Amino acid sequence: MRKSIATVSVSGTLTEKLEAIAAAGFDGVEIFENDLLACPLSPEEVRARAADLGLTIDLYQPFRDFEAVPPDVLAGNLRRAEHKFLMMERLGADLLLVCSNVSPAAVADDELAAEQLRLLAERAAEHGIRVAYEALAWGRHVNEYLHAWRVVRLADHPSLGTCLDSFHILSRGSDPIGIEAIPGEKIFFLQLADAPQLAMDVLQWSRHYRCFPGQGTFDLAGLVASVRRTGYAGPLSLEVFNDVFRQASAKRTALDGMRSLIALEQSLTGVTHPAAPAGFAFAELADTGALGGVLAALGFARTGTHSTKPVELWEQGDARLLLNTTGADPALIALGMDSPDPAGAAKHAESLLSPVLPRERAYEEAELEAVAAPDGTEIFFCDDAWLTDFAPTGPVPGAVTAIDHVALTQPWHYFDEAALFYRNVLGLQPQESLDLPDPYGLLRSKAMSGPDSGVRMVVNIAQVGVGNLPWQHVALACDDVVAVARRLRREHPGLLMPIPGNYYDDLEARQEVDPELRHLGVLYDRDERGGEFLQLYTVTVGRVFFEIVQRTGGYDGYGARNAPIRLAVQHARGH
Ligand SMILES: O=C(O)c1ccc(O)c(O)c1
Ligand SMILES: [Mg+2]
């Protein structure tokens, strides 16, 4: 299907928007009125600019507060419309979006609304223009898509159809199955937006928190499938009002919008996602020499060195960490995913426009497919062949059994993009975002996991006030955190993060826990089903710290309750 996007969805001036939208590969645009009004170019110049860029102008919008008004108001509204029609002719746009009236002047009278919209459609037709009537979720009388359709049907004019907007339909909890009763040729336009579940006024929700398909919780694939069954032949058009997108790079946002539509189309056409990774093959850390000692203290042993690169393999149980000593400060730079089909996974990533990383691998080395995640972290799709480059010496038994999860910190404006990447490219299932209090702001955090929880990831962003919070971490699974903590307290007391006594006073007030946790600095969480989670943190080294965790009883979280304590300690220590 053709792909369009409303200019309101990306940042910049109208020309910057058009350039970014064209660069991302869209076929057309919805021109948002404010963007045109504020643009120094004439409508003819905008038309030419769009044409040069290969973009059609699919819709002009919005025209507000038109229908179901007293006669004196109608005269003014028709006059307004006539001006818009003339301007649209200059712009080369032949579809006008009219959104349902929100004004107190509107009356609850479908016959009147239909009669006036019919008049509008007649006038529009004289200019070769068609009118698409959309129910805003907060429309004064018309706020359901089937109500807007009833009015359109009543008006019965070939130049009047309806515009469906997934946000208005799904935010109200309407069942999109009713779409299938609308003839496809009367659906003049389809706007798509997803949104996170938020308990708030629907207008504020719509104007600030819409996001691209797949970034929220709406079932857009189901809705679009219903629209397609009607025979609708127009574009899939993104219309996203989002406070972050308004500030972020237009090029990045437009490209991510395109990715979301490609993924949506893939899900509709039955393109199956290659199997999600079964686990972490490795996590790779940049290191200037400080991390080897930490890993050794945690029970890891260096088992190999890459045949041609300054990269060391450290192992313990099934946890494999690579230390890349090319000189950058400690940071998580790459993740290896155990992939059942590395080539298929890389091809799928490429189909979703993920930047494929050049293979700078020598002839005899394992061919690793890699793409860049939004924050630049390299994601490798691996089978077992990669290990041979390190000629590892053999298993390293120890308390640590595997990588439990990794937590990456995103630049603040990449959060939704990252969520989409890990969901669509890696096939991880996202959970709801959490906002965690930090002494200097809020940390937004989203956890994602693969089938059987073989891969767990957390992406965090610093929200207000903290700036780009730099910490990332690798969490290591073990079967007995208390034993690990005892040993580390004894042998490497400076390695462990000190936890405030107040935390334990509160914990002990809530439930009976082993008093030794306080002495050891082990944090504790428990879910409703009695699953338990024990956590032990190291101090940070550069941007990195390690966590040792123990899950019992099916505990599936990440100790969110304890994160604010850890963040406060990290801030207090200045790292
Ligand atoms: O928020 C609004 O006013 C608005 C305007 C036009 C639309 O298509 C829409 O979905 C919302
Ligand atoms: Mg809309």
Q: Using H for helix, E for strand and C for coil, what is the string for 78-104?
A: HHHHHHHHHHHHHHCCCEEEEECCCCC
Task: Check whether 81 has a pLDDT greater than 80.
Answer: yes
In this structure, which ligand is nearest to the CA of 208? 1
pLDDT in tens, 126-172: 999 999 999 999 999 999 999 999 999 999 999 999 999 999 999 99
The response to whether residue 165 sits with its C-beta less than 6 Å from ligand 1 reads yes
Task: Write down the pLDDT at residue 517.
Answer: 98
Q: Is 185 annotated as a binding residue?
A: no
C-alpha 225/C-alpha 106 separation (Å) is 34
C-alpha 254/C-alpha 12 separation (Å) is 12
Write down the ipTM of this complex. Answer: 0.99
Task: Write down the pLDDT at residue 329.
Answer: 86
Q: Using H for helix, E for strand and C for coil, what is the string for 453-510?
A: HCCEEEEEEECCCCCCCCCEEEEEEECCHHHHHHHHHHHCHHHECCCCHHHHHHHHHH
Task: Write down the pLDDT at residue 469.
Answer: 58
Residue nearest to atom 11 of ligand 1 (CA): 136
Q: pLDDT band for 270, please (50, 70, 90 cuts).
A: confident
Q: pLDDT band for 55, please (50, 70, 90 cuts).
A: very high
Looking at residues 307-318, what average pLDDT do you find?
95
Tell how far the Cα of 157 is from the centroid of ligand 1, in angstroms. 23
pTM, entire model = 0.93
Spell out the residues 6+ positions from residue 94 whose beta carbon is closer than 8 angstroms to its own.
88, 128, 129, 130
Task: Write down the pLDDT at residue 363.
Answer: 53
**Nearby residues for ligand 2 (ion, Cβ within 5 Å):** 165, 191, 239
Using an 8 Å Cβ cutoff, are 527 and 507 in contact? no
Tell how far the Cα of 496 is from the centroid of ligand 2, in angstroms. 52
- 525-560 in b/e form (b: 16+ CB < 10 A) is bbeeeeeebbbbbbbbbbbbbbbbbbbeeebebbbe
Tell how far the Cα of 65 is from the centroid of ligand 1, in angstroms. 12
Residue nearest to atom 1 of ligand 1 (CA): 207
pLDDT in tens, 507-529: 999 999 999 999 999 999 999 99
Task: Write down the pLDDT at residue 573.
Answer: 73
Structural domains of the chain, ranges and CATH numbers in brackets: 3-268 (3.20.20.150), 279-390 (3.10.180.10), 400-572 (3.10.180.10)
Task: Check whether 59 has a pLDDT greater than 60.
Answer: yes
Task: Write down the pLDDT at residue 453.
Answer: 83
Looking at residues 243-263, what average pLDDT do you find?
97
Spell out the residues 6+ positions from residue 180 whose beta carbon is closer than 8 angstroms to its own.
226, 229, 230
Torsion of Cα atoms, 105 then 111 then 116 then 118, to 10°: 160
Q: Is 116 annotated as a binding residue?
A: no
Using an 8 Å Cβ cutoff, are 205 and 198 in contact? yes
Q: Is 365 annotated as a binding residue?
A: no
Cis upstream peptide for 62 (omega within 30°): yes
